[in-house]
Structure 1
Amino acid sequence: MPSTPGNANLKIEKVEKLNIGVDVAAIDNRVRLSVDAYQEKTKDLFVSQPLSATTGFGSLAINAGQMSNKGLEFDLKVDVLRQNKFNVTVGMNHAINVNNIDDLGLVNEYFLGTFVIRKGLPYGSHYNPEYLGVDPANGRPIYRTNTGTTNDIAQAGSYADYGTYLPKHVGGLTLDVNYKGFYVNALFSYQFDVVRSNNTRNWTTDGTTGYVSAVNQSRELIGNIWTQPGDQARFPSPRYAKGFTSSDLEDAKFLRFRSLDFGYMIPEIRANGKAIIKNARVYANFQNLAIWSPWTGVDPEDNNNISLVEYPNPKMVVFGVDFKF
């Protein structure tokens, strides 16, 4: 017996793109700028269409959705110093993308885990109850409702006004220095206007008996958990779990020192009028040297809405020598 209905009218999703770009150079080509503006519409997206109970199925996949992306990208490079044996170039690139769910057919929204796909919102918008703190009188968590507040998460509303896990702004900064065969290249990358759920923190700050016995608890709980009436605490009494709420949604913006390369280009080595080594390079490469971010988890950079014990971007060091004969 089939578990889902078939749809002979399904077709491949379509993407319509419009891109306009311009390249500009000035001051004897010392300043170089590329700018691109784009608009992209994805049509005939697959949408789960609710069906009548008389059909024996809950939903049917149809081509009814539309999503748009609009954005601006630019890349700027400036030769700060340009001489025969000494060159310094700095650069910056930045991209802005505005995403929107334009249409979902006969439905206005549906849910994927802890985020909502809703007409008028960007893809990946978090959808959670809003945690407002702790009731000083009884240590129970407080949640927002459409009419006020409640201590019962089952009575609380879920909201989609916290942002999305897909960054609106991404970019990078570069530095390239060359001097008599020596070179240094540095890259910084960043993102902002992005929110992720720190699910690891949700576990480690849940002071209830079940979690305390199974998960190492965070030092955040020391002095911040409700113990007696009148306490102005961040976390509820150990009798109550705050649940999976907005309390663990965190700003995932960052500035990362992505890479640093430096080395020396050894010129041609000759003997008896012949080239023994055409050229050689001695170098060192460092990856993910440092990161600055308000994110309290292991690593804010990941393409999902929930962070749960993911392996972070590793720090790496590579030393090498290249020869060309």
Structure 2
Amino acid sequence: MRSIRESGAISNLKLRASWGRIGNENVDPYLWQEVVNTWGWTMRVPNPDFTWEKQNQWNLGLDLAMLKNRFTVTADVYKKHSYDLIYSDFPVPPLTGSYYLTSSVNIGEVENKGWEISAKWSDRINDFSYSIGGMVFDNKNQVLKAGYNTTDTLIFKGTNDRIWYRGIPINNYYGFETDGYFQNQAEIDATNAKFPNTLPGDIRYIDQNGDGILNDEDRVFLGDPAPHYNYSITLDMRYKNWDFSMLGQGVGKRVGRLGGQEGYPVYVDGGSNNLGAPRQYYANNRWTPETPNSRFPRVWTGSSTNTYLSDVWLSDASFFRIKSLQLGYTIPKVSNNIRNLRIYFNAQDFLTFTNWEGLEPERDGGNGAYPRMATYSVGFQVTLF
């Protein structure tokens, strides 16, 4: 081993291991207390057994440097078990005299497993020096317990589109699978499993259990909203007085939900959600009798069953983006008082490759959610004396 180190083949080798147990203190410190409104009504029932969330985690790591530190690698794997997770809106049994009372309880358990690896190569050839690096990591989680019993299912209050279910990732999309759109009234009349007031161009939902009724029993797990295979690439080069740097970043796999104006783009001036006219992309891809195989359902106003969460409103949100690019030139010894002058051009978020159908793949769309703007700038730096 000593001869290998002295030869420069391996200049650094470190193995790391750790284990720990911590509590999550980043929660409301008063969740355990009773809440009474200004009319004297109890809004939240106190829980004397309430406690903070806890986590057990182990980590294994490797640090390696080779070839006189020109090539470096860092790798980590970990596993985290979180338990006594807090649910602050757990419904209290009606025997208390109210259907609206809630309490804060510790009922959840989640397991996270992940890995990360990064590598970098640096070298110099006469006046030319460069380095190229990359990093990729992923985390997978699954619910171990979503209630007091391992078979319980937790559906978040106020929405049934997010669900905790044993063996499934946290907040997995929970909705309907679809089978295209109803093309005419004859198709609608011949179908038992449909919602009231269905019209041609509306979404045809799949009756999973075949009972002729569409309800929550026909909902299925549609996809994991968490990003997977996150990665980045860096490149730095220098030749004499020129310098260049680039940072690219992306996500290899993510299921995104088209929400707000992006989610219901054909909801024209309807009901209390005045979303206005759809974007041109949606207008060009909406259902009409002349375009029966379009991407989106018909244009509608008012309430519509088309707004239920389904695979229609999910889209591939993987992407690769050039986060920053900079090219500079340094003029040395400008004068006795100016050591050097560097002029540079910088561009940020100016190029994205994605199949995402909304505006911003890093964020599910919605009303008022702006996409990232490309930024271009030219500047100079002066070093005195």
Report TM bin, short chain.
0.7 to 0.9
Displacement of 1:323: 2.1
CA RMSD of aligned residues (A): 3.1
Instruction: Give the match for residue 89 of structure 1.
Output: 131
- Match status 1:176 vs 2:244: no
Q: Kindly indicate whether the alpha-carbon contact (under 8 Å) linking 1:206 and 1:241 is maintained by their aligned counterparts in 2.
A: no
Does residue 9 of structure 1 match 2:49?
Answer: yes
Native 8 Å contact 2:344 2:380 kept in 1: yes
Spell out, residue by residue over 1:256-287, the C-alpha distance to the aligned partner (whole angstroms, 9 max, x if none): 1111012123435563xxxx234443222210
Corresponding residue for residue 250 of structure 1: 315
TM-score by length of 2: 0.72
1:188 paired with 2:248, answer yes
| Structure in which a larger fraction of residues adopt strand | 1
Any conservation in 1 of the 2:265–2:275 contact (CA below 8 Å)? no
Match of 2:348 among 264, 287, 303: 287
Q: 1:231 to 1:9 in 2, by over 3 A?
A: closer
C-alpha deviation, 1:143, in angstroms: 0.5
Could you tell me which amino acid in structure 1 is paired with residue 147 of structure 2?
G
Between 1:129-138 and 1:90-99, the stretch displaced more is: 129-138
1:144 corresponds to:
206
CA distance in 2, matches of 1:34, 1:257: 24
Mapped contact 1:144–1:156 kept (Cα < 8 A): no
Quote the residue 1:263 is aligned against.
Answer: 328
TM-score normalized with structure 1 length: 0.84
The match for 1:108 is: 153
Map 1:302-313 onto structure 2 (within 5 A). Answer: 302=363, 307-313=366-372
Partner of 2:196: none
Q: Does 2:164 align with 1:117?
A: yes
2:121 counterpart of 1:62: no
Q: What residue is the counterpart of 1:166 in the other structure?
A: 226
Q: Deviations over 1:208-252 (max 9, x none)?
A: 9779x9621355455852438x95565358596522332111111
3-state SS, counterpart of residue 204 of structure 1 = coil
The sequence identity of aligned pairs, in percent, is 24
Point out which structure has higher relative CO (alpha carbons under 8 A, 6+ apart).
1
Looking at structure 1, the residues matched to 242 and 78 of structure 2 have their Cα atoms a distance apart, in angstroms, of 39
Shift of 1:49: 4.2
**Gap change, CA 1:279 and 1:21, over 3 Å in 2:** farther
**Unpaired runs of at least 5, structure 2:** 1-40, 186-199
Q: Across the two proteins, how many residue pairs are aligned to each other?
A: 315
The 1:67–1:136 alpha-carbon spacing in structure 2 relative to 1, beyond 3 Å, is: same
* CA displacement at 1:183 relative to structure 2: 0.8
SS of the equivalent of 1:323 reads strand
Distance 1:154 1:105 in 2: 23
Q: Does 1:323 align with 2:323?
A: no
